[in-house]
Structure 1
Amino acid sequence: MSSNAQLTTGPEALEPGQGPPPVLDATGVAKAYTRWRRLSRRKVPVLTGADLALAAGEVVGLVGENGSGKTTLMRILVGDLAADSGTVRLSGTMGYCPQQPIVYPRLTCDEHFELFGAAHGMRPAAQRDATGDLYAQLGFERYSSTRADQLSGGTLAKLNLGLALLPDPDVLLLDEPYAGFDWDTYQKFWGMVAERRTRGRSVLIISHFIADEQRFDRVIKLSDGRTWSS
């Protein structure tokens, strides 16, 4: 992040009488982009002080119109984009499922899981076990040796989600995760979310609209550069 923003990891000290700290805590996050017009430039604010806290075992939705800054905030939370100001504190590990899958076209699904497992420092046996579980849960094991550039959009979405889930992160951030899912995969997805909640894992789901609101512990709205509890 920039010199005006702070990103920290690890547990924070608690004041006497306080409960456990959030596993993810963003405060006062601001971001503006530079827009050029002819020979002049101007700053266009996207986030003007967004706050978001995620407790252990909590499933939270973040909703906003297209262009409201949802993906910008997500990229800042995962450290992919520097904020202009604000703080982001993370306690534990994080998994990220971007809206557009970031894959290697010539690698198979198996090769993706092996590569991502190595990047996360997973032992080969643990990576293979986790991969097998994800294939079974999401129902795409028959594509294990299929290259990414030969997958359908729905199967590519499953691979995208599986790679984020592979290391069993404490915090899972999902940007429009089920846009390409059929009904059966959509139901499997929510089963996996519920299972993670019972184990104290946290999930943040970003979408331009929220269906099945009862599945969430909270829904937060992003508008005018700020977050609001709905």
Structure 2
Amino acid sequence: MKVEGVRYAYGDRAVLRGVDLVLPTGTLMGVVGENGSGKSTLLKILSGEMSPDQGVVRHGGRFGYCPQQMILNESLTVRQHIDFFAVAYGLSGTGRAEEAMEVLRFAEYSGELVGTLSGGTRQKLNLTLAVMHDPQVLLLDEPYQGFDWETYLRFWELAGRFRDAGRSVLVVSHLAHDIDRLDDVWQLRDGVLGRPGEGLR
């Protein structure tokens, strides 16, 4: 993925002031920043959910997007969500979804209605739906919110598997303590990307 000169404003409030970024193949990259710094806006633009006011986003191959705001149907079971997305993605099987469910340890909830699940388990499903088609570019917005410590570690195991398989993974978070788990990290501040200051470490 290559991002050049991306700008976006909400009315008179400029959120992104010229973002440039290259996400190489086989890289686990992070973008950190304070709440309200424009991280989610940037990810929505990278995923194609929103269009920038200026600038260009280029990427090749399949991409997966795990938004911070979960879009799940509380009246459907976990399995029904996976089957529905398998059809939407045009998949012949759900092997990748099964693998993600095993890594994140929630396969036993397959028959449960989403409306009965905890926030952390919903987030596991949200993440599984984003990765089940084996994307070549994976965009993750605060992907481990609601996870306990064990699941948090398992998330990084899953992300590492994608990186090791030659995928490009971008994790957006306000938590700077994650940066030691990343191959590369940037900070979104004042609408542009730069290297984190010493205070983040």
Verify same fold: TM over 0.5: yes
1:139 — aligned with what? Answer: 105
- Tell me how far 1:104 sits from its aligned partner: 1.0
Whether 1:67 aligns to 2:44 is: no
Gaps of 5+ in 2: 197-201
2:199 — aligned with what? Answer: none
Amino acid at match of 2:4: T
Whether 1:204 aligns to 2:170 is: yes
- Tell me how far 1:130 sits from its aligned partner: 2.4
1:38 — aligned with what? Answer: none
1:28 — aligned with what? Answer: 5
Amino acid at match of 2:6: V
1:114 — aligned with what? Answer: 83
Contact 2:26 2:167 in 1 (8 A): yes
Contact 2:61 2:136 in 1 (8 A): yes
Gaps of 5+ in 1: 1-23, 35-42
2:49 — aligned with what? Answer: 80
- Tell me how far 1:213 sits from its aligned partner: 2.1
Amino acid at match of 2:147: F
Amino acid at match of 1:134: A
Alpha-carbon displacement from aligned partner over 1:131-175 (angstroms, at most 9, x marks no partner)? 322221111111101111111011001001100110010011110
Tell me the secondary structure at the aligned position of residue 96 of structure 1.
strand
Alpha-carbon displacement from aligned partner over 1:159-210 (angstroms, at most 9, x marks no partner)? 0110011001001111011121111111111111111111101110101122
Larger relative contact order (C-alpha < 8 A, sep ≥ 6)? 2
In 1, distance between residues paired with 2:49 and 2:27? 23
Give me the CA root mean square deviation. Answer: 1.0
Aligned match for 1:222, one of 163, 184, 188: 188
The structure with more helix, counted as a fraction of residues:
2
Contact 1:28 1:87 in 2 (8 A): yes
Give me the TM-score of the superposition, normalised by structure 1: 0.83
Alpha-carbon displacement from aligned partner over 1:50-96 (angstroms, at most 9, x marks no partner)? 11110000011101111111000000000001110100001111101
Whether 1:182 aligns to 2:182 is: no
Identity level (%): 46
Q: Report the structure number with the largest CA radius of gyration.
A: 1
Amino acid at match of 1:95: G
In 2, distance between residues paired with 1:131 and 1:45? 38
1:56 — aligned with what? Answer: 25
Amino acid at match of 1:210: A
Whether 1:47 aligns to 2:16 is: yes
- Tell me how far 1:111 sits from its aligned partner: 0.6
How many residue pairs align between the two structures? 196
